[in-house]
Structure 1
Amino acid sequence: MEIAVVGIDHNKAPIDLREKTSFITCSSKEKAIEALKSNGVEEVVILSTCNRSEIYFCAKDVDRTIPQVVELYQSKTDLDIKDYITVKRDRDAVKHIFCVAAGFESLVLGEDQILGQVKEAMENSIKKKHSKKILNKLFRSAITFSKGIKSKYKISENPLSISYVGLKLLKNEIGSFKDKKVLIVGVGNMGMLALKYIIEEFPKGIYITNRTHKRLETISNYNEEVIPVPYEKRYDYMKEVDIVISATSSPHIIFKKEKMPRLMKTLYILDIALPRDVEKEMENIERVKLFDIDDLKAVVAANENYRKKVVNSAISEINEKVEEFYCWKVDASLDPIIGYIEEKCNKIRNETMSYIENNTRVSEEDRISIERFLTSQLKETFKNPIIDIKKSQGNKKKIGQKSHWASVGRSWGD
């Protein structure tokens, strides 16, 4: 069984393309997974965030499967994606998820959200039985590794996030928030992080809204300075505020140009959702300054040297974990063969002991001694063949499971 990952991320693809090729809804994920499983894919995990959409999978023939996965992405857009798609397999694919989980591949180095997103992707696949032994082990190993890396290199001592970098961009544009009114749309992780950072800037007023009003009730208890407002009145408040930060998980545009009120002052809009919440044409409205996730790249560019330093320091540990995983995978791939050998050994022992008990007179003490001796000899007989099989796999000899099965079968006369 081989491992591969196919995906599109912020390193190559602009936000327009990431939007179209995302698997943000449960139904789109399920449809893609079922299509792959019907074509021989054994295990699948889909990771879809604002900056990446990736399909991790296990199959017996990844050469045949990779084009099918690429076609899933291509079917979502008329644009030729060959220059934007990333394909990795075997150790490169394993290494990739370790780097992704640790935040090394994020727009913001070490950002905290990605670890939760990787964990959620894994748990969803486990729950729906799309992920099994191999990908379960891989994702759990990557999650555990990333926690250790963040602690060791103190990546999260000054926690960064898309929300934090977005507010830094706005601060560069505006200066101070102290005389500004802010509307936050969405109370998910990014919305709540934005709220946390905004409160620390002491703005003149903070409004917050969400499609589901029930979740707003808990926000008013969070801080008395935060004013919940009805979602359906979100356009009305755009006339009053200076800044709008939109971070919902809506699959559709929630701010359209045609519905915008006439503005009497400059309105700064930060759209950190994917798919985007704000219609792109709104940037053409007089007094509107619109920013999306791709505009954050210039802000994080200064972080790039530090990113390279941390990744270079951690690369040997990543490689070590990759090899550790592959050693486990080799052993796991031999489980059916070793199980078969053990089953045959048990059968021989049971049949031999049954013959002895039915055709000879032995004391209970002798019977126990004979059974122990027989068990020991059977283990010893097949100890070296099992070691040889593991060595041949570990040394990457292209013998393969079929040859191992044939060898074992000849040993038993099967």
Structure 2
Amino acid sequence: MQFGFLGINYRNAQLAVRDRTSFTDAMKLELFQKAEEAGVDQCMVLSTCNRSEVYYVYERKEQQAQMQRIYEGMFPEVELQEFLMKLSGNEAMAWLFRIAAGLESLVLGEDQILGQVKEALDFSRTMGYSKKELNRIVRDAITCAKQIKTELKISEKPLSVSYIGIKKLEEACGVSGKKILVIGSGKTAALALKYIYEYSGVRVTACSRTYAHARNLREQFPQLEIISYEDWRQAVGDCDIVISATSSPHLVVRREDFTPARPVTLLDLAAPRDIDISFAQDPLATLINLDTLQAIAGENQKERERLVEESRKLIGEKLQETQIWLLQSRMDSTIESLQQRCSGIEEDSFRYLNRKMELGAREQKLLKKVLHASLQRLLREPIQELKRLDSEEEQEEYKRLVRQLFQI
């Protein structure tokens, strides 16, 4: 019994290809059914915007090629040969462990993928296509990922300059209860607003050269006050914090437009700059711009990469435990057959002795216990030896011998 993987991801296939290889729930079920017809009855599909992957447990080598044909057949309009990634055995399990921990994500160490792996397993199990082996492998990967996130905290090293910028504001002047002006209405401004509203008591005003765009922000943030772009110079004097995140090719907040009369913190999230760098010389102004934020993001990226190496070591240890379990589990069916054979002998012996000796209820119960204990004692050491086998060749040889010796 082996663990297999095949699929595409953002590393080996561009977005145009990934968009055309996304699985719906109905398509997942169709793939499961076709795999079962090919003798593969344990399957899981992990389908996100960055990957379209299938994990499965198989018995025969030729089933790998069958799974590839089934996968490609799900997307007949897409030529997948050059993009498809295929792994088996320990390499496939190691890939899943790294996926669950976010080590193969576009954003290194991100958390979302772990929930997506859990959902993929839940769907497979609910549909009846995840059994003992697949359940154990995926759950071990999930447990390992949780340990990495708890102990190493990779995802707590932020890479988003918007997030880092708001954190720097908190360090510089505090955010809760502050009056804030946001200039701009694009993705960066919206992301900054998302993080701002995590603080209590903030009063936020926004403006944009395109008034309709600024009003669109209110659909996401109903408490946001919108003013026309021309009014920001009047509004800025009452603000504790000014955030600018426009796509303007020129300075937006210039020295001649605004002279601080009270302490103010300026956050410039734009490239090229929105806020005049000379504000850094004003004793009433604190300026934070992308130079500082990108330096922090760069340091955080390096720290994440260092933590990845520690994560790989932990994955190696946990993966070894899963590998040993999977290797030993290959003997489970033989051990179960051996126990069933002994149970049959135990039952035959009991019926014979009970018929000959006409035992009462108490003696029957005692005889059953003695027969069961005796046969289990006889089996104990052979079963332990079977569980200790650490190579597939030995396992197959012992399976053959057990079947021959015990006629099972």
TM-score range, shorter chain: 0.5 to 0.7
Query: CA 1:356/1:94 → structure 2, altered by over 3 Å: closer, same or farther?
Result: same
Report if aligned partners of 1:43, 1:57 keep a CA contact under 8 Å in 2: yes
The share of aligned pairs that are identical, in percent, is 29
- Deviation of residue 203 (structure 1)? 6.5
Pick one of 185, 190, 193 that aligns with 1:181.
185
Contact 1:112–1:159 (CA<8 Å) still a contact in 2?
no
Residue type at the aligned position of 2:195: Y
In structure 2, relative to structure 1, the CA distance for the partners of 1:346 and 1:27 (3 Å cut) is: closer
**1:408 equivalent in structure 2:** 402
Match of 2:11 in 1: 11
| Cα distance change, pair 177–312 in 1 and its aligned pair in 2 (3 A) | farther
Structure 1, unpaired ranges of 5+ = 170-175, 185-190, 210-215, 228-241, 245-264, 267-298
* C-alpha distance 336-43 of structure 1, shift in aligned 2 (>3 A): same
Match of 1:112 in 2: 111
- Which of the residues 349, 352, 355 maps onto 2:352? 355
Q: Whole-Å Cα distance in 2 between the matches of residues 55 and 195 of structure 1?
A: 38
Shift of 1:53: 1.5
Q: Cα deviation per residue 1:6-48 (whole Å; 9 max; x = unaligned)? A: 121122322222222332x333333433333332321111111
> Are 2:310 and 1:313 equivalent residues in the alignment?
yes
How far apart are the structure 2 equivalents of 1:194 and 1:32? Answer: 42
CA distance in 1, matches of 2:130, 2:225: 41
Residue type at the aligned position of 1:53: S
The aligned residue for residue 75 of structure 1 is 76
Partner of 1:280: none
Quote the offset at 1:365 in angstroms. 6.5
- Provide the rounded CA distance (Å) in 2 between the counterparts of 1:366 and 1:154: 62
Q: Is the 8 A contact 1:3 1:56 kept in 2?
A: yes
Asked whether 1:204 is paired with 2:206, we answer yes
- Secondary structure of the equivalent of 1:105? coil
Deviations 1:282-341 (A, max 9, x none): xxxxxxxxxxxxxxxxx9887654343222212232122212112322343333222222
Matches within 5 A, 1:360-399: 360=357, 370-392=367-389, 395-399=390-394
1:400 Cα deviation from its structure 2 partner: 4.7
- The count of residues paired between Structure 1 and Structure 2 equals 318
The equivalent residue for 1:39 is: 38
Task: Describe the shift of the 1:357–1:308 C-alpha distance in structure 2 as closer, same or farther (beyond 3 A).
Answer: same
Mapped contact 1:182–1:207 kept (Cα < 8 A): no
Following superposition, the deviation at residue 93 of structure 1 comes to: 0.9
CA contact (8 A) 2:31 2:74 kept: no
**Partner residue of 1:326?**
323
- Within a 5 Å distance, the mapping from 1:248-287 to structure 2 comes to none
Measure the CA separation in 2 of the matches of 1:31 and 1:379: 44
Match of 2:139 in 1: 140
Report how far residue 404 of structure 1 moved: 4.4
Q: Select the structure of larger CA radius of gyration.
A: 2
Contact 1:6 1:54 in 2 (8 A): yes
The letter of the residue matching 2:403 is: G
- 1:122-166 CA-to-partner distances (Å, cap 9, x unmatched) read 112222223222222222221222111111002233456xxx479
Contact 1:7 1:54 in 2 (8 A): yes
Deviation at 1:348, TM superposition (A): 1.8
Query: In 1, Cα distance between the equivalents of 2:186 and 2:225?
Result: 10
| Aligned-residue offset at 1:71 | 2.6
Query: Partners in 2 of 1:104 and 1:17 — Cα distance?
Result: 22
- Cα shift readout 1:339-378 (whole Å, capped 9, x = no counterpart): 2222222222222222222212667776555444332221
Q: CA deviation at 1:168?
A: 8.4
8 A contact 2:3–2:55 mirrored in 1? yes
Instruction: Please state whether the residue corresponding to 2:52 is helix, strand or coil.
Output: strand
Between the aligned partners of 1:148 and 1:177, the Cα distance in structure 2 is 41
Over 3 Å counting, the alpha-carbon distance change for 1:410 and 1:165 in structure 2 is farther
> Gaps spanning 5+ residues in structure 2: where?
166-179, 208-213, 227-243, 250-295
- Distance in 1 between residues matched to 2:86 and 2:299, nearest whole Å: 28
TM-score, normalised with respect to structure 2: 0.65
CA contact (8 A) 2:35 2:67 kept: no
